[in-house]
Every structure is written in structure tokens, then in C-alpha cells.
Amino acid sequence: MDSDTASRRAGGVAARRQAARAMPELGPADARLIDRHLDATWAETGLTAASRESYRRDLAGFARWRGRDDALSAATPSDLSDYFAWRARGGYSPRSNARLLSALRGLYAWCVRERIRGDDPTARLGSPTLPRLLPKALTESQVAALLAAPDVDSPTGLRDKAMLELMYATGLRVSELVGLPAQAVNLRQGALRVTGKGSRERLVPMGEEAQHWLERYAAQARPILLDKGRSTPYLFVGANGEPLTRQQFWSTVKRMAAVAGIEPSRISPHGLRHSFATHLLNHGADLRALQMLLGHSSLSTTQIYTLVAREKLKQLHRMHHPRG
């Protein structure tokens, strides 16, 4: 990203934050409606805490923009169209608008079922066209450099090494990694029992290398990090004995990437997960098996990694073929 693009993006974010601060507070009637809807959705589908807060922010944003306490229950199709038009002028991304539309559709479908209102104002709203963004995968040499970056002579370095090795060996999501219970790890069998999206469980093999570093971390580093005999169900803990957050792990990945000499634009919170999937496909893994390992409910989600592998092949052909 060049400096002009970064500057424009930063300016757009600042303007949107300023506009949000200028809006009225969320009214109590709308707050109650959102809570009731999200409680019902959580009971039906096992909505994650992160998704719940995202939906809450999106729904509250529309209610505050409309500026009246029955904004949600009395909204019209014109209100929604005007709000999306306002967001378009404000530079909100198609992906952000798609998430908002999903939240609104869920709310009004529930309102109709609960007879809070008789119609769905989102029925005629079209979905925004989303650009196809391919996951950024590291090369195998970059992964090797990243995995070699932590200082394994310190407790936190040994923990970081175990986390990076485990994520690359299993393709866990960041949330699954930091929330992994110690009891979910079977070092004797070399496998993890992972609870993913929608509370779906899957059994994932970890491989000998990750198993080795996990054993070292559990025996040498975790007891030190759990100062004064504190206990926690989570496998990975911080220096104060508290479970790590996704933000803390992301900070660790960025620091290790800098040590490994990897450009910041090449790394992402899920970079090792994407690399795990891409490298397995490059070495001949079956797409259905990869779907099970990643915990995808739909094969179409997994198929995006075949596009990553195909793009890599095209690049190699252009670089090395005499008529590329």
C-alpha cells in the first residue's frame, strides 16, 4: 500500500469515527430489542461472543444513525436504503456492508417470527458485490524463518515457539489456538480436540515437530508462566498466568515476522493457517481432508485455497517458462 492510499484510508476511518461520535446514544427500546434478538440467536445457533458483539455494533449503528428510540422496530425499506447510501459516501467497504446486511436480515427475520412486525424491510435490498480476496500464504522458507525466530531459552519464547509450530502444523484459527484448553491436547496420541465455529468439534493431528515443542512448553515454560501455582484451563498463558488474547498473539506474530525478515504486508493474523492449507494442497493433499482439518462447514470455503495454489503456479510459469 502506497503512502497516498494509506493516508486516504486513515482519513476515511477518522471521519467515520467522528460521525459515529456525533450520533445520539442508543435508545433503551432498541437496546432491549437487540439483546432479545441476540440472546435468541445465541440459543439457536451458538453464536460466538465475537460475532455477537459485531452484530450488536452493526445494529446499534443503524439505530443511532436513525436517531429515534424505535429505530429498529419501525424502520422502513427507505430508511435502510438511505443508511447504506450514507455508508457508501462515508467509504465503508463492501465487506463491512455485507456483514451489516446479514445482521439486519437476521434481526428482521426474527422480528417477523416473533410478530414484532409483519414485514421484513430488508427483503428488497440487494447484497453488495464482494471482491474475491485470496488468503496470503507465506512461502515454505518464510515459514521456516518465522518458526525459527522465537528465543526458546526463555519461557515466553518457548511458548511462542510452541504456538507457532502448533498453528502451522494444525491450521487452527487464532481464536481456536488462544482458547485451546489444556485437556483438549492428547500428547500421547499427537492429536487435538478442537471446538470451532458453531460449536463443531473436530480431531486434528499435530505432527511430531509440533508435539515435541508442545511437550517442552508444557514441562518447562507453562509452570513458570503460571506463577505461584495458579491454575487455568487454557493451554497457552501470558506472563501473569492469564490466557492470551488474539491481539497478544497477533503482536507476537508481528514481532517474530520482523525477526525473520518478513515484510509486514506478507503476514496476517491467520497467515500460518493459510500457509498450512496452501502448502498441504501444494504437496497433494485431498480437498475433502483439508476441509475436515480446517473445520470448514462448506467445501466451497476450502476451495479458495485451490485458487491460491493456481495463482502460484501461474507466477512460476511466467517466471521460468521461455514463453511465459
* Catalytic residue chosen out of the listed positions 161, 222, 273, 279: 273
Cell numbers 456492508: residue: 97
Under 8 Å between Cβ of 163 and 237? no
Instruction: Classify residue 256 by burial, with Cβ atoms within 10 Å: 0-12, 13-18, 19+.
Output: buried
* Catalytic residue chosen out of the listed positions 83, 108, 217, 305: 305
228 is catalytic: no
* Catalytic residue chosen out of the listed positions 87, 161, 270, 279: 270
Amino acid symbol at 302:
T
296 is catalytic: yes
Cell of 123: 427483503
* Catalytic residue chosen out of the listed positions 37, 161, 274, 296: 296
279 is catalytic: no
The Cα 159–Cα 237 span in angstroms is 8
212 is catalytic: no
* Catalytic residue chosen out of the listed positions 173, 222, 274, 279: 173
* Catalytic residue chosen out of the listed positions 197, 212, 246, 312: 197
Residues composing the chain: 324
305 is catalytic: yes
Under 8 Å between Cβ of 278 and 139? no
37 is catalytic: no
**Gyration radius (Cα) of the chain, Å:** 23
Instruction: Classify residue 322 by burial, with Cβ atoms within 10 Å: 0-12, 13-18, 19+.
Output: exposed
List active site positions: 173, 197, 270, 273, 296, 305
